[in-house]
A and B are shown apart, each in its own frame.
Chain A
């Protein structure tokens, strides 16, 4: 019987822990498992580009501009701005009476300090600087006015000022406490302020009662870092999470069946395509590339494998993206026609096609298998090759060592097609190892040179149309962001860019 003692002890301990959950106060505490990998390691805006940082950043900090849940640009810490000197200078009027969480006043000096830091030596080590190098310098005009002097046009700049590296940081605090301390004890002007942080385990924030935009309802927000999606689902099912950001699609039905939980899906930034190796093999032929697009039934893949949590796309962007063209149609599934074209182009039955994908991406592995199935039906001999994600992204793709087709999963928080198109199609870009197209280069550069929204939109739409015409990729779908949410959370808005800002939400 001695063997049973430890078990009995464990059971007793377990029972004593059951009485733990306490009653919620007025606004309550919201517990979130953010997107993997969850812990950005540092909450300094200039240190990272992870979505995981974005999940926290907009709760702690504000930018000069801000974006609502509808992705429209609105005033943030700047109440007003105007373009001067033929669009080479932007003058911002700053919001009055705003204070950082430590009591330090927000003013023109803070803005200058933020950007001097981002564009100077401190920012050099991080990945954020390159996004803002259109800014030559920031000049203080008076206490509540700053001028941004631009060295080159950047039509996406105002959007980029709403997030990540451009979030305004407190000069005195950073100078006094040092950079390393600021990384793990962030201070901003945002609706929530920092309470505590345990690396890789959790981050706790509390309501900023003095928030200039009106204090949030929640008392606290606790981020729990859980990297394994099925573990996030377990924790949600056990009632220990209010929001889980990484729910495996296979578990959505279990969550829906639970009477206390629901699935919330929103249009997300992530778009998936199979890009072509336009240099080698049968995919060097444009007509063959078009035939392959026709051979794959995207609707069936979305319905069967992605359980409906995706939208088919005609270009490499979702419908929230600036540059999206609703009149650009998805190429319809037509296996017979695809076969006919392949025959006309002299592609012999049984010709091999290789699809490279990220081996750790379980959903996509199934999608790739389905695509392979369709290509086989079209008479080809597809093979699948799974790579470790970083090897694929950092070695195989940039060095032009891919098979005929390769997975590209892409999404930028700016929701601007420029962010995608320039990186994908401009000559010499890392993501464009195979093509040099002067016509495409010219269009991509033209839209970067203008602040005229109408003109830019048209050029971006032309680019998407041109890419479709050249069949540079097989567009697949734009993924929905799928969240598991406990019903006790009220008035929750989840923005499509994943930059959480839980001002209206409460937990009952």
Chain B
């Protein structure tokens, strides 16, 4: 187990190095933060710009700047935002919990609806309810997330003002964004649960369990579900990256003060320190999610428990 964790830790460090190096390098190709800051400053001279660059430390070679960033990160210091000079660590500290909470709620919501629906569809294979579920998932798959978000806001925040349309002001704020991400995620999960359930239900041990006279509910939820958990968990692990990608759009539409919003604004504002930090944390989250998936395998299936 320790060996496994150490190996994973090295992997994580490697992933973060590659991702931040790529992002830091690429974002520097797309424009000058000094010009961004000076936009609208009447006639600005090259000397003025040079002064701003020096103030921001942008006159140093790229690798030196990147080295500073790594050195700071190792010491837990992400530096200061180019826009206004706020501590990047502080910005991350407020944005990270918001993103985690939204991700958790979205995943929970999608599992809560997709597992029963998937099982139902598998058990009643070919029935009208199975067909309906399959059509609904197809519809769910074809929603662009921002469109779904706007529709949900229109319905549940303006026409029937049940939930706040944006922000993270009270406990109900999370409902609409989590619903948006959850619905889209569920569409695939339902299909996956249905397929692997169908496979499992045809297995001999299910026949044995049934012939013992166990209740159908126990057969499905205790014996069958556990066996189709592996593909579902694998899939959710893979989806997590997509979820993080989708969160940028959903957070923006719902003005959710999370990492996605932070990263988006940092890109458009060429705020390198904030962007590098946000990307590092997002990469860490994905690495962590994959680790959790690996550990969950062992939990649901003793055969692949790591020694």
CB distance from A322 to the nearest CB of B (A): 14
A-B contact pairs, 25 of them (CB 8 A): A3-B116, A40-B83, A41-B85, A125-B55, A127-B44, A130-B38, A130-B48, A131-B42, A180-B85, A198-B94, A200-B91, A200-B257, A200-B261, A224-B167, A226-B255, A227-B252, A231-B153, A231-B254, A235-B166, A389-B268, A394-B35, A395-B31, A414-B42, A429-B43, A430-B35
Q: In the assembly, what is the distance between CA of A402 and CA of B167, in Å?
A: 39
In whole Å, how far is A19's beta carbon from the nearest beta carbon of chain B? Answer: 12
Q: Of the listed stretches A9-17, A101-109, A452-460, A483-491, name the one at the interface; the rest are far from the partner chain.
A: A9-17
Q: Are B269 and A37 in contact (CB under 8 A)?
A: yes
Min CB–CB distance B50 → chain A (angstroms): 10
User: Quick one: given A391-B30, A422-B42, are A200 and B163 in contact (CB under 8 Å)?
Assistant: no
CB distance from B289 to the nearest CB of A (A): 22
Q: Is the CB of A37 within 8 A of B268?
A: yes
Contact of A390 among B161, B163, B253, B270 (CB under 8 A): B270
Contact A240 B38 (CB under 8 A): no
- Proximity string of chain A (409-439) to chain B, C-beta cutoff 8 Å, 1 when within and 0 when not: 0011110000100110010011000000000
Q: Which B residues fall within an 8 A CB radius of A?
A: 30-32, 35-45, 48, 51-52, 54-56, 81, 83-86, 90-91, 94-95, 108-109, 112-113, 116, 150, 153-154, 157-158, 161-168, 170-172, 175, 252-255, 257, 261-262, 265, 268-270
A253 to chain B, nearest CB (A): 15
Question: How far, in whole Å, are A234 and B155 apart by their CA atoms in the complex?
Answer: 11
Contacts of A328 in B (CB 8 A): none
Among the listed A48, A237, A426, A430, which residue makes an inter-chain contact with B37, where contact means beta carbons less than 8 Å apart? A48
Q: Which residues of B contact A234 (CB under 8 A)?
A: 150, 153-154, 157-158, 165-166
Q: Which of A23-59 contact B (CB under 8 A)?
A: 37, 39-42, 44, 47-49
Which A residues are in CB contact (< 8 Å) with B254? 231
Digit string of A234-246 for contact with B (CB within 8 Å is 1, else 0)? 1101111000000
Q: A256 contacts the other chain (Cβ, under 8 Å)?
A: no
Contact of A130 among B45, B55, B83, B91 (CB under 8 A): B45
Name 17 extra pairs, CB < 8 A, besides A126-B55, A127-B37, A200-B257.
A3-B112, A3-B113, A11-B162, A44-B84, A49-B39, A49-B40, A49-B41, A127-B38, A127-B44, A183-B84, A201-B167, A201-B257, A226-B166, A228-B255, A238-B164, A239-B161, A394-B30
CA distance A201 to B31 in the complex (A): 27
Chain B residue nearest to A10 in the complex (CB): B175
